[in-house]
Structure 1
Amino acid sequence: MTDRVAGARHLIFDLDGTLVDSAPDLATALNGLLAEMGKPALTEGTVRSLVGDGAGVLVERGLAASGLGDADRPAALKRFLALYRDCLIDQTRAYPEVEATLELLRAQGHKLGVCTNKPFDPTQRILKALKLDRFFGAVIGGDSLPQRKPDPEPLLAAIAGVGGAVSSAVMIGDSANDVLCARAASVTAILIPSDYGNPAEDADLKLSRFSELPAAIARL
């Protein structure tokens, strides 16, 4: 049995690029949309560079990258979300070490939540399909509130959702949005860089592997 750490924390995680690699399915949906509009597919690497600010911004960036900046964005977003629903968990997987690390963190007494710019419904479906939903006491999606990261309100809502306080909270993510959001909320930021877009330059702590989290949090 793992000993519980003194001073348990309230840990809020980003989703895409932090807990799961969803870029292949996002690319499938975005390229399906572009194909319907008569445009060639973007590479998966290009799509990865566009992810991080929610579905609407991903579609906007994808349209712009394909020379479709003047397209009907609301209609394109609606169609993208329909296509994405059909391939949501075809290739999306949790990163290695995520499930075991979450198990350890929970066993140590930490309370866990999710704060992502991905819409709430696909977020919940992905977490459930990957059997990660059991770890999280609160999930805030990009459409759960009027604001999105890097605004602090979604993070503050996730902290409240797990019964925490700013003083005991930690934001764990892979992008500048996560770090900026944490700073705006006066919350400690831990960065685990990925190959998704909008990289951060610094954070309170920067790790190279997800499995380093328990030891890093114990040092806070």
Structure 2
Amino acid sequence: MSINTVLFDLDGTLINTNDLIMASFKHTFEHFYPGRYEDEELKQFIGEPLYHTFAKHDESRAEEMVAFYREHNIANHDNLVTEFDGVFETVKTLSENGYKLAIVTSKMRNTVEMGLALTKLDQFFPVVITVDEVENPKPHPEQLETAMKKLGSAREETLMVGDSQYDILAGQNADVTTVGVSWTIKGSEFLASYKPDYLVDHMGELLEIAGVGK
């Protein structure tokens, strides 16, 4: 059975929020835990839900830390967010060729909508599954399975595209074909160690993997 569905992570995959995320983490940890982390160490937290990250440090203050992070993140969003090269054209081509598309992200809905609107990608995604809609975020397969159910897609027809180990593991747990992106802030070798089915250097390569035009 051929591919007709593509599920995308958002941050670090379609849109470049790396500078924004790093700035927001740095702002938050310097406030709550001054001097605890170097910039390079903060990268370890990218890709997992914010509450999980902060609860590992102090569960009693996790909600407060999430709110502090999000205030900074939203205030600086439009100044620091861009899309990765080839993303808009690739997603547009998939949409025009009848592929079923969805976002599955560990972010909360309001900042997801901000990012999609800013990059004009919102027009292509009828289904958006955020961390707010599920009990179990990635790497659990629930978000992917929810998206596939809404789209009416089968596992064997579906690609999962992402920049973090949580995306690849979620795809593997959902038994779909996985695609990692080499521009991940964590490094392509790190992502390759989780054995995605494909690792792309440019989003345009996804068109061949998905079989566009075949």
> TM-score, normalising length from structure 2?
0.85
Q: CA deviation at 1:43?
A: 5.8
Tell me how far apart the structure 1 counterparts of residues 72 and 178 of structure 2 sit (CA, whole Å): 34
After TM superposition, list the pairs within 5 Å mapping 1:135-154 onto structure 2: 135-154=124-143
Q: Which moved more, 1:93-102 or 1:173-182?
A: 173-182
CA contact (8 A) 1:52 1:196 kept: no
Tell me how far apart the structure 1 counterparts of residues 150 and 184 of structure 2 sit (CA, whole Å): 29
RMSD: 2.6
Q: CA deviation at 1:177?
A: 1.4
| Structure with greater helix share of residues | 2
Q: Does the residue aligned with 1:15 lie in a helix, a strand or coil?
A: coil
Q: CA deviation at 1:112?
A: 0.8
Q: Does the residue aligned with 1:167 lie in a helix, a strand or coil?
A: helix
Structure 2: state its 5+ residue gaps.
Answer: none
Q: Return closer, same or farther for 1:90/1:71 CA change in 2, 3 Å cut-off.
A: farther
Tell me how far apart the structure 1 counterparts of residues 96 and 116 of structure 2 sit (CA, whole Å): 19
Look up the equivalent residue of 1:105 and give its one-letter code. Answer: L
CA contact (8 A) 1:59 1:80 kept: no
In the alignment, which residue of structure 1 is the partner of 2:178? 189
CA contact (8 A) 1:174 1:200 kept: no
In the alignment, which residue of structure 2 is the partner of 1:11? 6
Q: CA deviation at 1:179?
A: 1.7
Query: 2:191 aligned to 199, 216, 219, which one?
Result: 199
After TM superposition, list the pairs within 5 Å mapping 1:70-219 onto structure 2: 72-197=61-186, 199-201=191-193, 202-218=195-211
Structure 1: state its 5+ residue gaps.
Answer: 1-5
Look up the equivalent residue of 2:128 and give its one-letter code. Answer: V
Count of residue pairs the alignment pairs up: 209
Look up the equivalent residue of 1:24 and give its one-letter code. Answer: D
Q: Does the residue aligned with 2:79 lie in a helix, a strand or coil?
A: coil
Q: Return closer, same or farther for 1:93/1:59 CA change in 2, 3 Å cut-off.
A: farther
Q: Return closer, same or farther for 1:41/1:93 CA change in 2, 3 Å cut-off.
A: farther
CA contact (8 A) 1:48 1:196 kept: yes
Are 2:34 and 1:39 equivalent residues in the alignment?
yes
Q: Return closer, same or farther for 1:185/1:70 CA change in 2, 3 Å cut-off.
A: closer
CA contact (8 A) 1:55 1:119 kept: no
CA contact (8 A) 2:160 2:171 kept: yes
Identity, in percent, stands at 22
